[in-house]
Each structure stands twice: as C-alpha cells, then as structure tokens.
A and B are shown apart, each in its own frame.
Chain A
Amino acid sequence: MSLNNQGRPTGAGAAETPSTPTTISGDRGLDHEEVLIFELGHGAVGVDLPDMKVSDERLGGMRRKAGIGLPGISEPETVRHYVRLSRMNYAIDAGLYPLGSCTMKHNPRLNEKMARLPGFGDLHPLAPASATQGALVLIAELMNWLTSLTGMPAVAMSPKAGAHGELCGLLAIRAALEARGEGHRRRILVPESAHGTNPATAAFAGFTVDEVPAMPDGHVDADALEAKLGPDVAAIMLTNPNTCGLFEPRVKEMADAVHKAGGYFYCDGANFNAIAGKVRPGDLGIDAMHINLHKTFSTPHGGGGPGAGPVVLSERLAPFAPLPLLVHDANGLRLVETRGEAPEGAQPFGRMCAFHGQMGMFVRSLSYMLSHGRNGVRQSSEDAVLSANYILASLKDVMSAPFGDGPCMHEALFDDSFLEGSGVTTLDFAKAMIDEGYHPMTMYFPLVVHGAMLIEPTESESRESLDRFIHVLRELALEAKAGKTGRFEGAPHFAPRRRLDETLAARKPVLRWKPPPLREAAE
C-alpha cells in the first residue's frame, strides 16, 4: 500500500470503509490534513539574509562539500504548516486533561510573559556576575520558596527534569556514603508501584534495585520494607503521596527505620502538588526530593518538555550538592562554577549539566508562586485533592476503586474489574473518551493495579467541568457494563487519526523522511 501526499491511502491495501465520506482534498472541513515539510519544500526561503561570499582562509580546510537536503519554504507556508499541525493536538487549554501522575493544570500566560522579559530570556549564562544580579536574586528567591515549602535546608537547582533530579539526589547519596567510608552500600529499596524512572535511575547511578511489594490497600508494605533494611542498603526511594494516589501513613516510621539502618530516604516528589503548602516533606524525615516544576508549579508541559527538577536536600546531604553553587559575597550573589572555588565544607559530587539549570522554568515557577502566595499554593493542593475525591465519590458505584472507601489524595485510581466480561478493555475505555472530547486518563499505571485508570483532575477545573466529565464517564461505564460496546470498538472515530499501528512502527522503524527513490531514466 502506498500513501499519497495527503496521508490518505491509495491503491491496494487501502481500507475499504473509511469512517466518513471521503472528500476531494482529503481535508474534512476544519479537520485538515498536513503533509511533511519535506513534501512542501520548493526552494523558497523564509528569512531574508545577505548572500555573503566567505573565503576558505579560516575554515581549516573543513568547508562543507555536499548540500544538506533541507526543504525551503516561505514564512506564510511555514506558519500555515505549524498552525495546521497544532490543530491535531489535544491541550489543557482546550479541555480537561486528567492524566494521573502528570499534573495537567492551567498554565498562566503571565508566566510566559515574564520568562520572555529580555533580562531573563535574552541573558547569556556566562555573562559576568555584575550583569546578572537580577537573575541570581531570582534564583535565590525561588530557592527560598522551595526550601520553605518543603522544610528542607538546601536545594540543588540544576537538574533539568524529574528523572534528572532523581539522579542528582542519588548521586548526592552516593557521595555522602563514600565520604562516610560506606561506599559498599549499594542496594536501594524501590516499591513495585514506583514510577519506572526510579529503578532506572537507581541502576543508572550504580545501585542495585530491590523491589518492595505493595499491600492490598495500595500502600507500601512498611513491614516488608523494614525487613529488607540492612548494612548494604544505601537508601529507600519512595513516592509520597504514592502512585496509587494515597498518602503513606507510615512514612515517618519508614524514614526512622532507614535512618537507623544507616541509609537515606529519597522521595520522588512527582506528587508534591497534593501536599504543597499543607505538609513539609522535611517534617517526614526525607533526605532528598526532586520537585517537578512542570507539575506542581505549572511550567507548561510543551508536548513533552522542557521540565525542571530541582532537588531539596537534608542537612546531611547538602554538602554534596552539585555545581554550580550560589553564594553571597561582598559584591552580591555569585555562582561557584568550579570545585576549586567551592566554599569550606562543600564537597560537590560533580555537575549535572552545562550552565545553571532551567532558568526559563525558574522564572515561570516563581511567577506562579508569587501569584498564588502561600495561601494560594495551599488552596491549590486542597482543591486538587477535593476534586479527585469528588470524582472518586461520583464514580465508585459504576467503576471499580481498588482500595475501598478511603479518601485519595490528588488522583483517583480505578481498576478494570468493572469491565469484566464486557469485552471492553481499559484501552478501549480510554479511546472512547477521546470521541467524547476528553484526553484519556493515565492507563495501565501504576502496575500494581490491573488495567489501572488514574485520574488527576487538578485544581484547575470548575465544578461544572467536573460534573460534565463525571457524567460522560458514568454513561460510558454503564454502557460497557450493559454490553453496549459500540462506542468502544475501534474508538476513536472522531479524532485526526484512528488507532495507530504501534507494532508496525516498532517492527520496521521509519524514523525520518527519505526522498522518494528516483524513477528509472528509461521511463
């Protein structure tokens, strides 16, 4: 089968029954198809620059010999291309985005405007300290917010995302153990309900991973965890609130136990948005925790990044924070960028990345924090938890909540037992939500729940919006249970694409456009 340049099938193998009548253009009203830029290119240029000649004198004999193969299109064509592409995306600005664990909350546009102030957006990372005092004060102020909200004494700002923050935290733990002469501690306890990044990061940082089971009520089995502690344990790595959307009631007990056994407590702060302004992780005995600024503090997810993952550190881990360090001296604030300049007592374990971290995200986060204030941050957490519980309470009679009647935190978890015998799977249920105008919830995670559906409404939804969403989910659940599977089979029908063949994509990877083969000259 071949595809014409509108992405529509032609010739043998084309599907016989498209879901709606075909059109001449391939578009369907406002539902536009769009070709690849490589199929649009025709030698135009979208910028006006002089056509300078340059000599080879200073190029070290390395002038490019062959062309690159980039297509050329003008500005109007470029704008149209990306506008048409954008319309194929779902977005939080367009509707409720209940992805559990991902925290799709409103992204205030003030924060975008602030990040684009030339003094931040157009500031060079290696400009001299005298030219960057405002930026350094901003970082210091954000650090103050993060340490105050968490009740922790220190924070490493440079990690670029949550998983990068995890790595930073574990490397600080590794450095602290080595400084204590206990570098032999190599085992890290990770609950089986953890995000996949936790075991990946632990392995990446040179530790071995030992899984801790979950209990039937969705909490980590604290007794099993305590039984696994020993002289070779470096740390425990817990998510709290956990990935089932529950607060770990025995968290302090577990912290005390790991400390007594000589290990550290790393907390995955992915779910900090449930407790910010209510609970200080430092009060729970945590030694290190990353904070996803793109979750709790609402920097836009941007289709998969960029994020930011600063790591708050306890007194015991603070000396090992990576470069750069922010210090005060007689001339104001200054960055310590090399080991040689490190102040007394500091033993930085290394460097996580070039320069100083995700400044653009720092500006947005501080703008969010100043706007909310401590009371607004607290209200956000309360509203997020309230909304999730409202969904749980409104759906638990028609869907199945695996952990009984207790309250959840900021996300409501269901399993697929309510679909048993209906022939409808969690995937089908999720895809039917697309036809109803919603982005699906997180599916099949956490792994400890069968056919999991994890719903996180966040604090950004009105009650009316929640009620509409609940109504749709109730109807879908009731239809599935009644054996009316029409809405689920082959869903989605009303999306830019029907279900995509992921097996084909993985079996024969096509990861880039290639020019079509040239026709035979004899033609």
Chain B
Amino acid sequence: MRYHPLTSEDRRIMLAKIGAPNIDALFRDVPKGALAPLSAFELPDTQGEMEVERALSKLAARNIASGGAPSFCGAGAYKHHVPASVDHLIQRSEFLTSYTPYQPEIAQGTLQYLFEFQTQVALLTGMEVANASLYDGSTATAEAVLMAQRVTRRGKAILSGGLHPHYAETVETVAGLTGAITRATVTPGKAEDIIALIDEDTACVVVQSPDVYGLIRNLRPIADAAHAKGALLIAVVTEIVSLGLLEPPGAQGADIVAAEGQSIGNGLNFGGPYVGLFATREKFLRQMPGRLTGETADAEGRRGFVLTLSTREQHIRREKATSNICTNSGLCTLAFTIHMTLLGEEGLSRLARLNHARASALAERLAKLKGVELVTPSFFNEFTLRLSRPAAEVVDALALKDILAGVPASRLGGADDLLIVAATETATDDDFSALEAGLKEVLS
C-alpha cells in the first residue's frame, strides 16, 4: 500500500539479516492463541485515496457546516473568519510533523512561537505568566481548580451558575476527587450572589464572563471577597475575542485565568481539537500545570528557547507531578498565535467591536418579535432569548430550513424556553433576516 516503503524483497532481506524465519517469529512472546489471523478482524481492506475521499466527503456532506447556512450557535465554540495564511502556515511540514520540542537545538521554531504565544496570552488576559496551552477551556478550568486547591491547601471550589455546564461537569469529575464542588444556582441574565457562598474553607471561586448566557460580569467584587477569605478567583473566558473590548480578568483581580482559545485561528471541528489558555500570577508559577517555554542562551551566547521547569511535570516527578497532562495543544496554539499576530492590537480591537456591533444589531431586531424576550441586559457577541415555545423545538424546526438558530439552553441542562444566540463578524444581514423570518414563522 502507498504508505509502506518496504517491498516484499526488502522484507525478505531484512528477515535474513535478523535471522528470523518469518515475521511471526518476531512475535514469539505473544501467548499461544493470541496471535489473531487477519480474518479475525471484520473490517475492510486497503482503499485508494480516491475511494477514501469519496466515502468521507459523503459523510461530511450530510452535516450543515456553519459557513454554509445562517449560523448562530455559540455556547463555548464560535464561528469566526480565519485568515487563509493561518491554515497554510500551520500545514508547513516543519510545524505539522515535528514532535514536542525536547531537542531544543532543532526545535527553535516551535519553542519561539510558544514563547510568543505565552506572551500574547499573558498580555491579553492581563496576567503575568501563561503556559504553552492545555487541551481546551474546560480542562484548563479543571486544572485551575486543582492548582487553587494546591496553592490554598483547601478543597472547596465554588462554581458560578453562569459557568458553562460542560466546564462545571469537567471540574466536578476531576477536582471533585480532591475537594467539594458547590455549584451556585443562576437566573439567566442575572448575576447570582456568589459572594455569600465564600467561606474559610473555600479554595477558589470560578466565574465565567461573559457567562454561558452571554452576560458580562464584574469580577472585581468577587475577587475582593474571595481574597478576604484567603480564596483565589479563577476567571473563565470561553470567547477570547471578547478581551479585545472588555476589561481583562487580570485587571479585575483574577488569580488564574482559564480560557478557550478556539475563536482565534481554530475551526469549530465539532468540538475539538481546541486550545486551552492558562495564565496566572508570577508568584504561583511553580504550581502551574502544563508545559512552559523559557528564554535562555546557547553555548555561543545566542538567545534561544527551551521547555523549562519540567521538574513540575509527570515525566520527571511521576506520582508527585502537578498534573498528569503530558501534552499541549501545539498546532492549535500555532494557529492561535499566527491569527493573533495578524490581528495585532488594532485588528483585535476592531474584530471585538465588530462582533459586539453585529450581536447588538441582531438582539435589537429579534427582541421586537412577538414571543421573543431578550434576557441578557449586557453581552459581548452572544445573548439569550426567552421564547414562547421550547427552544429545542424551534432549533429543530429551523434546522430543517437550513438555519442554525443557536443553542437551546435545555441542551446544557438549562430552562426549556431559553435560546442562546451568537452573532460574530461572519453573520451577514441576510443571515439576520433569515433567522428573523424563521423565528417569526415558528413562533406564530
């Protein structure tokens, strides 16, 4: 087959050199009966590139891509325009097909962009240091809670009701082993009184802004209340573009920021791979999970970069490591950093303002419809509507008309009548009109 360079003649010569009579002689340690014949696998045989492409294209065509329809789905994953140069650059062999930069002399390309990425993330979040990324926003949030438990030597974590429910469940699954997790109850569109829940046993308070319903939260009073009790504030951001327009968590007293970076440079990919951003204060550096790239010099005194502080990590510390995570989200990190470089200060600010303007315009139009009420008084590029019919039914009905109307809150365990609607720079006036007409029809 096309990916195998060895010919049968090669194989014969190689077996002779080894001194093995046949290939199965090399599998002699496999217990008797466990070496399966090919027929034991009920699977197809080799196919050419054309056949595989045909089969997979057929499956892809059965889905409604966000770019192929009016699309207003958000709730933790956002459709944005990614400049063509991003995908071209990340497919360069030297980036795509290299391993973790354990041999820094021949991996400076990866190490330098990671150093630049860490700087961008620290600047964007208003924090002092950032790591080289984690799997995604939800796992970054769970790692943040674990880190807060280590720093404070306390177990209890309080999760805002506005935290994305998948994030909350990820935290409960992982950090629930080391401490009690309390989830506050939330009224969509309103900030819950989370301060009242903070006590002397609290390790951290986790607050998302904009929250899962789109509401923008002021973190400062929560940070002050947490700090007064010796707890940390973990700020979660699922739409990183918002930081082009909104006050960063670092300026509001956050101790750790866990964020999803998918919006910059990365496609929707049906949920992954994405890129988890993680930033904190310098004083917590050695409690931080994940890979870190640091500046140093080579034997000739030239600036260079290496993976550093690996004494925190599992391959050195084994069961005493700060985390079991052994990978970052390399190529997604690269896509993020290239797109952020293209945007720069001015581009990100413009992108953020454009997103807010589009969402504001849509919210105003939809709020005028009968049977539609806007429940989020503040928002960035995503807001929540209360509908006169169950939102899941509305979404299903509109999907049949090739309109992706948003995410029903019920899909995330929320109320039946709430619809979470996102509008980014990619949504056109025609898309708005299609959604408006569609909603009018199904709600009448």
CA distance A306 to B90 in the complex (A): 13
B60 engages A89 (CB within 8 Å): no
Is residue B400 contacting chain A, with contact meaning CB distance below 8 A? yes
Chain B residues near A387 (CB, 8 Å)?
6, 14
Is residue B444 contacting chain A, with contact meaning CB distance below 8 A? no
* CB-CB contacts below 8 Å: A16-53 with B: 18-19, 34, 36-38, 41, 43-47, 49-53
In the complex with contacts A91-B98, A124-B66, A301-B98, A200-B306 CB distance below 8 A: no
Which residue in B31, B46, B56, B412 is a CB contact (below 8 Å) of A367?
A: B56
CA distance A322 to B139 in the complex (A): 15
Q: Mark A176-207, 1 if CB is under 8 A from B, else 0.
A: 00000000000000000001110111111110
Q: Mark B96-133, 1 if CB is under 8 A from A, else 0.
A: 11111101111111101101101110111000011011
Q: Mark B388-421, 1 if CB is under 8 A from A, else 0.
A: 0000000110011000100100011100000000
CA distance A18 to B66 in the complex (A): 54
Which residue in B18, B97, B118, B341 is a CB contact (below 8 Å) of A37?
A: B341
Is residue A421 contacting chain B, with contact meaning CB distance below 8 A? no
In the complex with contacts A46-B343, A127-B73, A138-B59, A500-B297 CB distance below 8 A: yes
Question: In the complex, what's the smallest C-beta–C-beta distance from B379 to chain A, in angstroms?
Answer: 6
* CB-CB contacts below 8 Å: A161-180 with B: 161-164, 166-167, 171
Is residue A137 contacting chain B, with contact meaning CB distance below 8 A? yes
Q: Which residue of the partner chain B has the closest CB to A33?
A: B302
CA distance A444 to B103 in the complex (A): 13
In the complex with contacts A138-B56, A370-B55, A90-B107 CB distance below 8 A: yes
Which listed segment binds A: B163-171, B192-200, B225-233, B435-443? B163-171
Is residue B87 contacting chain A, with contact meaning CB distance below 8 A? yes
B96 engages A91 (CB within 8 Å): yes
In the complex with contacts A75-B342, A90-B106, A354-B170, A374-B43 CB distance below 8 A: yes
A440 engages B5 (CB within 8 Å): no
B52 engages A376 (CB within 8 Å): no
- In addition to A118-B68, A131-B404, A200-B318, 20 A-B residue pairs with Cβ atoms within 8 Å of each other are A37-B341, A49-B351, A62-B216, A63-B247, A83-B89, A88-B94, A112-B91, A115-B269, A123-B65, A135-B270, A280-B34, A353-B138, A356-B272, A369-B43, A385-B23, A459-B6, A463-B5, A495-B106, A502-B104, A504-B297
Q: What are the 7 tightest A-B residue pairs by CB atom distance, in nearest-first order?
A: A355-B271, A119-B60, A134-B62, A350-B173, A302-B331, A72-B344, A125-B271
A200 engages B321 (CB within 8 Å): yes
In the complex with contacts A134-B60, A387-B14, A205-B404 CB distance below 8 A: no
Which residue in A166, A349, A461 is a CB contact (below 8 Å) of B5?
A: A461
Question: In the complex, what's the smallest C-beta–C-beta distance from A26 to chain B, in angstroms?
Answer: 9
B108 engages A496 (CB within 8 Å): yes
Question: In the complex, what's the smallest C-beta–C-beta distance from B3 to chain A, in angstroms?
Answer: 6
CA distance A130 to B124 in the complex (A): 37
B20 engages A407 (CB within 8 Å): yes
Is residue A70 contacting chain B, with contact meaning CB distance below 8 A? yes
A512 engages B29 (CB within 8 Å): no
Q: Which residue of the partner chain A has the closest CB to B343?
A: A47
Question: In the complex, what's the smallest C-beta–C-beta distance from A453 to chain B, in angstroms?
Answer: 13
In the complex with contacts A70-B344, A204-B323, A137-B62 CB distance below 8 A: yes
Is residue B384 contacting chain A, with contact meaning CB distance below 8 A? no
Chain B residues near A88 (CB, 8 Å)?
94, 106-109, 112
A505 engages B306 (CB within 8 Å): yes
A50 engages B350 (CB within 8 Å): yes
Chain B residues near A45 (CB, 8 Å)?
343-344, 346-347
Which residue in B41, B309, B412 is a CB contact (below 8 Å) of A374?
A: B41
* CB-CB contacts below 8 Å: B258-307 with A: 260, 267-273, 275, 285, 291-306
Question: In the complex, what's the smallest C-beta–C-beta distance from A372 to chain B, in angstroms?
Answer: 6
Which residue in B20, B38, B104, B177 is a CB contact (below 8 Å) of A378?
A: B38
Is residue B360 contacting chain A, with contact meaning CB distance below 8 A? yes
B378 engages A59 (CB within 8 Å): yes
Which listed segment binds B: A226-234, A257-265, A388-396, A474-482? A388-396
Chain B residues near A149 (CB, 8 Å)?
41, 43
Q: 12 A–B contact pairs at CB < 8 A?
A: A50-B354, A58-B377, A62-B217, A88-B108, A131-B64, A138-B59, A302-B334, A303-B110, A357-B272, A386-B14, A500-B298, A513-B116
B299 engages A306 (CB within 8 Å): no
Chain B residues near A374 (CB, 8 Å)?
38, 41, 43-45
In the complex with contacts A203-B320, A372-B3, A496-B106, A305-B36 CB distance below 8 A: no
Which residue in A75, A123, A358, A375 is a CB contact (below 8 Å) of B46?
A: A375
Q: How many chain A residues touch B (Cβ–Cβ < 8 Å)?
A: 213
Question: In the complex, what's the smallest C-beta–C-beta distance from A202 to chain B, in angstroms?
Answer: 7
A499 engages B105 (CB within 8 Å): yes
CA distance A1 to B65 in the complex (A): 54
Which residue in A87, A284, A357, A499 is a CB contact (below 8 Å) of B109?
A: A87
Chain A residues near B176 (CB, 8 Å)?
350
Is residue A518 contacting chain B, with contact meaning CB distance below 8 A? no
* CB-CB contacts below 8 Å: A52-83 with B: 52-54, 57-73, 75, 78-79, 81-83
Chain A residues near B38 (CB, 8 Å)?
277, 374-375, 378
Is residue A117 contacting chain B, with contact meaning CB distance below 8 A? yes
Q: Mark A91-125, 1 if CB is under 8 A from B, else 0.
A: 11110010100101011101011111111111111
A205 engages B177 (CB within 8 Å): yes
Is residue A521 contacting chain B, with contact meaning CB distance below 8 A? no
CA distance A502 to B133 in the complex (A): 21
A351 engages B170 (CB within 8 Å): yes
Chain B residues near A383 (CB, 8 Å)?
4, 6, 11
Chain A residues near B71 (CB, 8 Å)?
124
Q: Mark B50-72, 1 if CB is under 8 A from A, else 0.
A: 01110111111111111110010
Which one of A1, A117, A134, A302 has the greatest number of beta carbons of chain B within 10 Å? A302
Is residue B205 contacting chain A, with contact meaning CB distance below 8 A? no
CA distance A102 to B178 in the complex (A): 31
* CB-CB contacts below 8 Å: A293-351 with B: 300-308, 322-323, 337-338, 340, 349-351
